[in-house]
A and B are shown apart, each in its own frame.
Chain A
Amino acid sequence: MSQSLRTPVLFFVVALLFILEGSTSFWVFSGSWNSSLAILNMALISAIMALGVNLQWGYAGLFNVGIMGFVALGGLATVLISMPVTHGAWSQGGIGIVFGLLVGAATVIAAVLLHTRMAAGRSRTLAVLGTLIVGFFVYRYIFDAGVAGVEAINPAQTGFLGGLNPGGPDNYKAHGYMTVLAWPVGGLLAAGAAWVVGKTALGLRSDYLAIATLGISEIVIAVIKNEDWLSRGVKNVIGLPRPVPYEIDLQQSADFVARADSLGLDTTTASTLAVKLSYSALFTVVLVALIILAQLSLNSPWGRMMRAIRDNEVAAQAMGKDVTKRHLQIFVLGSALCGLAGAMMTTLDGQFIPGTYQPLRFTFLIWVMVIVGGSGNNFGSVLGAFLIWYLWVQVEPLGQWLMAVITSSMADGSALKDHLINSAAYMRLFSMGIVLLLVLRFSPRGLIPEK
């Protein structure tokens, strides 16, 4: 099949899967449009992450396994932008925290400056060490006092700095547009982190970059989990405002009820569908815009240069291309996309729960999407994201069905039967591994290969 035919056919097949999930309750399909749309919304977000990874891997050959960290930073941005400021947090410690962080940063800069300016020798070592030690204790002294002040404010409800929502604690949900404003901020936050990582780790060999990014993502999660003043840590932030209407408001609107009736839907279902559809519409707009940009960049001189660097670094260098700089650029861009998607995901969830960030789900699954879809091809990555996310969700009922078939001949109440049925949920990881290995082995260029 030629590629120009292959792409639409594959997209059609995936669309059919979503339609089946919504319309028929046969086999593993639930027959609920709500479920189908829920999968679709997350698939749209995953597609943006996959685009970001494809930018790094497909265009430039950078192996980033720290996606989870950038996604979490995006989620953090949603909290920092869309939540209302905690009353008194800034006066009771917020300023101290910022000042403490500035002292910390100044210490590091001073140490680096001393290291570069002074002549090598024992006096330099002592000066650098002294600066670091004194700076660390001053930083901790100021910072800890600020943290204690912020976290003491009504710890059961707030105890964090809060965000920038102009509505205040009582009315912040009316300013739902703030979450959408948080999306680009999430991208920026992730881009900033990526710049720091890239600056230090991009010069290294590919496996080392992988390990460095794996490490940074764990650290980001550790920071978010522990710094309660920032986003309440493992106490979670719930009740984020929404850019779309609330189900309950829709159900109480006479206009909406009348319209739902005319479509023959009961009000509750119609309201949940309407909310999910509005999210889908928002996400689709972002995704389509990003695909267009990605396609334009891929076919621009810049995209050709990137692929040239990927295919032969030495030759590209000989042609006068600054490989390290271009790598840093694309690493920052790709990570920004992951941050953006992370902010969108937190918006969709309506809550920020650091404990849910698992590398298998947020880093390695995205990689499976890109590899299965076809690295180097934007449409491939998007298709991979839709397909793999769909499978990730549907493997669970599939596993249960499979276990039911396997155990049907066993006696009821036998320990093995119970164990098999209870363990069906772990089929997910297993099947993703199988899919990845099969694609890597038999179709290493993915479902829609790079042209």
Chain B
Amino acid sequence: MDFLNALVALSNFVLIPAIAYGSQLALGALGVTLIYGILRFSNFAHGDTMAFGAMVTILFTWWFQSMGISIHPLPTALLALPFGIVVTAMLLILTDRTVYRFYRRVKAKPIVFVMASMGVMFIMNGVVRFIIGPGDQRFADGERFIIRARDFKNATGLNEGLAFKTSQGITIVTAIIVVAVLFWFLNRTRTGKSMRAFSDNEDLALLSGINPERVVMITWIIVAALITIAGTLYGLDKTFKPFTYFQLLLPIFASAIVGGLGNPLGAIAGGFVIAFSEVTITYAWKKVAVYLLPESLEPSGLVQLMSTDYKFAVSFVILIVVLLIKPTGLFKGQSV
């Protein structure tokens, strides 16, 4: 019984949140990795673009809510998601046309792209705060839980409750669908293949008649879809606040690099590595330890390795360790 209780506590506080968070990071990291693979720079505006996508979705959600459209028990935000993606895609294509295309044409160094992306980051940051403000926004509706803690306790007779939030369920399911579609697209369709060819060897791809501008445009559209979904899911699961999205930049980059920049499979693995490390290192293990250890050995403290505020430190340390030991990442990414 104690073992089961420990297992439930572990799933409730570690496994489920980490899987949900990992899925969100993986979607974000896929975007970073695609931009790196095709456009060959680290996009610093990624976090703020994510905030923009989530913001547009929220605005559509509010509009739908005010008109009484809903897909109960699912959150209305899912219905608004396609609209958010379209608007974000248009914005990203617009930034590409006005900002990045010029540097591609003059064949600027990657660092110039990074700086330009810093400028874009400032603008996005301002636009998001200008439209929706810097504060927390609520937009979640529909059924809150798939499994409630109390129902679970009643049904199983265990002391520990297991709560499974709808947002977590949706995150996991959506992430699986999105990743499956993305991989099908990259591996099976002609356009996807041309993208991979472009990423592997630009000159050879150009030689075989692949239109670079088209590849870039499709990349931005996919990126828009990925980060709008990731941003909305993160907002549903936790909360929407523009600054938290900026801060997500670090774990997202860490995921992409740990997995191997430019490698989509690596981005997913990296997302889960980072999410699980963050959650396990900042979780107070006392609850689990109480069930597993005999009473005499019960810990007096919280058995928390690090306070939750150090979660950035976790992704950072993993990032550095991987960079030092295996600079191409866990899965072979592009050379360093």
Contacts and interface: CB of A to CB of B under 8 A. Distances in A.
Contacts of A364: 118, 121-122
A211 B307 contact: no
Contact of A433 (B41, B119, B250, B305): B119
A431 B120 CA distance: 11
Interface of B: 41-42, 44, 99, 102, 110-112, 114-116, 118-127, 129-131, 133-134, 246-247, 249-250, 253-254, 257, 301, 305, 307, 309-310, 312-313, 315-316, 319-320, 323-324, 327, 336
Contacts of A212: 316, 319-320, 323
Interface residues of A, number: 44
A440 B110 contact: no
A432 B122 contact: yes
A142 to B, nearest CB: 14
A255 to B, nearest CB: 48
B313 A429 contact: no
Given A205-B336, A210-B42, A360-B125, A367 B312 contact: no
B102 A441 contact: yes
Contact of A204 (B253, B316, B336): B336
Name, among A359, A432, A433, the residue most crowded by chain B CB atoms within 10 Å (CB to CB).
Answer: A433
A200 B111 CA distance: 20
A97 interface: no
B107 to A, nearest CB: 14
Nearest to A434: B123
A315 interface: no
Contacts of B44: 65, 210
Contact of B307 (A200, A226, A368): A226
Nearest to B106: A444
User: 8 smallest A-B Cβ distances: which pairs?
Assistant: A430-B126, A433-B122, A433-B123, A429-B126, A215-B316, A436-B119, A437-B119, A426-B129
B323 A204 contact: yes
Contacts of B99: 437, 441
B308 to A, nearest CB: 10
Interface of B is mostly: helix
Interface of A: 63, 65, 136, 144, 200-201, 204-208, 210-212, 214-216, 218-219, 222-223, 225-226, 359-360, 364, 367-368, 371, 423, 426-434, 436-437, 440-441, 444
Contact of A207 (B114, B131, B254, B310): B114
A423 B42 contact: no
Contact of B127 (A136, A226, A430): A430
Contact of B112 (A427, A432, A440): A440
A218 B309 contact: no
Given A207-B114, A426-B129, A437-B116, A219 B123 contact: no
A432 B247 CA distance: 20
Nearest to A358: B243
A19 B295 CA distance: 74
12 contacts: A201-B320, A204-B323, A211-B42, A211-B319, A226-B310, A364-B122, A367-B118, A423-B133, A429-B126, A429-B129, A436-B122, A437-B119
B309 A225 contact: yes
Contacts of B121: 364, 433
Given A215-B315, A218-B250, A430-B125, 19 more contacts: A63-B111, A63-B114, A65-B44, A136-B305, A208-B257, A208-B336, A211-B319, A212-B316, A226-B309, A360-B125, A364-B122, A426-B130, A429-B122, A430-B122, A430-B126, A433-B120, A433-B126, A441-B102, A444-B112
B123 A429 contact: yes
Contacts of A437: 99, 116, 119-120, 123
B319 A222 contact: no
Contacts of B320: 200-201, 212, 215
Nearest to B243: A358
Contacts of B309: 222, 225-226
